[in-house]
C-alpha cells in the first residue's frame, strides 16, 4: 500500500463526509480533471486504502436502542480455539464489532440489542453458545458520546 499524498488525502477527506459524491464533483473539489480523479480513486480502491462504500445506518432508528460491551474469556488461546470462536462469532448478527485482545479478556464485542429482553435472548442463544467460552462479562452503555467510522484525516 502506497502512502497517500496530499491530493489523495483531500479525496479521502471528502469521501469520508460524502461517500455518494460524483466523480465530477470530487474532481472539482480537489482540483483534478475527472479522468485523473477517477484513476486516483481506482488506485486507492485497488491498494486497499478505500475498503468499501457503505450506508451508515442508525441503530436507534432500527429500534436497536441498547449497546452492550461484552468481554469474553476462552478456555485457551490455541489456534484451533481462536479459529473456531471467530468463525462462530461472525455468524451472530447482533455482534457489530469483535476484537481479539491482550490482557484479562480474550475478546471484546460490541453488541446491539433492542432492549434488555432482546439482549437476554442474544446472550442465551448466541453468546453462551459460542465455542470455548468460559466467562462472559457484559457492560451496558448508558449514552453514546462518539462513534466515528474512521480516523479523521
pLDDT for 47-100, tens place per residue?
999 998 888 888 989 999 999 999 999 999 999 999 999 999 999 999 999 999
Domain membership of residue 28 (yes or no) is yes
C-alpha span between 150 and 38 (Å, rounded): 22
CATH number of the structural domain spanning residue 74: 3.30.70.920
More confident residue, 152 or 19: 19
| Residue 9 scores a pLDDT above 70 | yes
Residues 6+ positions from 69 with CB-CB distance below 8 Å = 108, 109, 110, 111, 138, 139, 140, 141
pLDDT band of 42, cuts 50, 70, 90: very high
Mean pLDDT of 2-9: 86
Q: How many domains, the chain?
A: 2
pLDDT of residue 57: 87
More confident residue, 55 or 130: 130
Domain membership of residue 1 (yes or no) is no
**Which residues are registered as beta bridge partners of 136?**
72
C-alpha span between 86 and 116 (Å, rounded): 25
CATH number of the structural domain spanning residue 29: 1.10.10.10
Domain membership of residue 118 (yes or no) is yes
Domain membership of residue 117 (yes or no) is yes
- HEC per residue, the chain: CCCCCHHHHHHHHHHHHCCCCCHHHHHHHHCCCHHHHHHHHHHHHHCCCCCCCCCCCCCCCCCCCEEEEEEEEECCCCHHHHHHHHHHHCCCCCEEEEEECCCCCCEEEEEEECCHHHHHHHHHHHHCCCCCEEEEEEEECCCCCCCCCCCCC
What average pLDDT is seen over the chain?
A: 94
Domain membership of residue 19 (yes or no) is yes
Domain membership of residue 103 (yes or no) is yes
Is 42 in the same domain as 71? Answer: no
Is 42 in the same domain as 90? Answer: no
Is 100 in the same domain as 34? Answer: no
Mean pLDDT of 9-14: 93
Is 41 in the same domain as 72? Answer: no
Domain membership of residue 153 (yes or no) is no
| Residue 146 scores a pLDDT above 70 | yes
pLDDT band of 123, cuts 50, 70, 90: very high
Full domain range(s) for residue 134: 66-140
Is 80 in the same domain as 42? Answer: no
Closest by CA position to 60, among listed 122, 141, 151:
141
Domain membership of residue 55 (yes or no) is no
Amino acid at each position: 500500500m502506497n502512502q497517500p499524498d496530499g491530493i489523495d488525502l483531500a479525496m479521502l477527506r471528502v469521501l469520508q463526509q460524502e461517500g455518494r459524491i460524483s466523480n465530477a464533483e470530487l474532481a472539482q473539489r480537489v482540483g483534478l480533471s475527472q479522468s485523473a480523479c477517477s484513476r486516483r480513486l481506482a488506485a486507492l480502491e485497488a491498494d486497499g486504502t478505500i475498503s468499501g462504500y457503505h450506508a451508515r445506518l442508525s441503530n436507534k432508528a432500527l429500534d436497536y436502542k441498547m449497546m452492550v460491551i461484552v468481554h469474553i474469556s476462552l478456555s485457551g488461546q490455541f489456534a484451533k480455539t481462536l479459529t473456531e470462536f471467530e468463525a462462530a462469532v461472525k455468524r451472530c448478527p447482533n455482534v457489530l464489532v469483535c476484537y481479539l485482545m491482550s490482557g484479562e479478556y480474550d475478546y471484546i464485542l460490541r453488541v446491539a440489542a433492542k432492549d434488555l429482553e432482546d439482549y437476554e435472548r442474544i446472550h442465551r442463544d448466541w453468546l453462551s453458545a459460542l465455542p470455548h467460552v468460559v466467562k462472559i462479562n457484559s457492560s451496558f452503555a448508558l449514552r453514546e458520546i462518539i462513534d466515528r467510522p474512521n480516523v479523521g484525516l
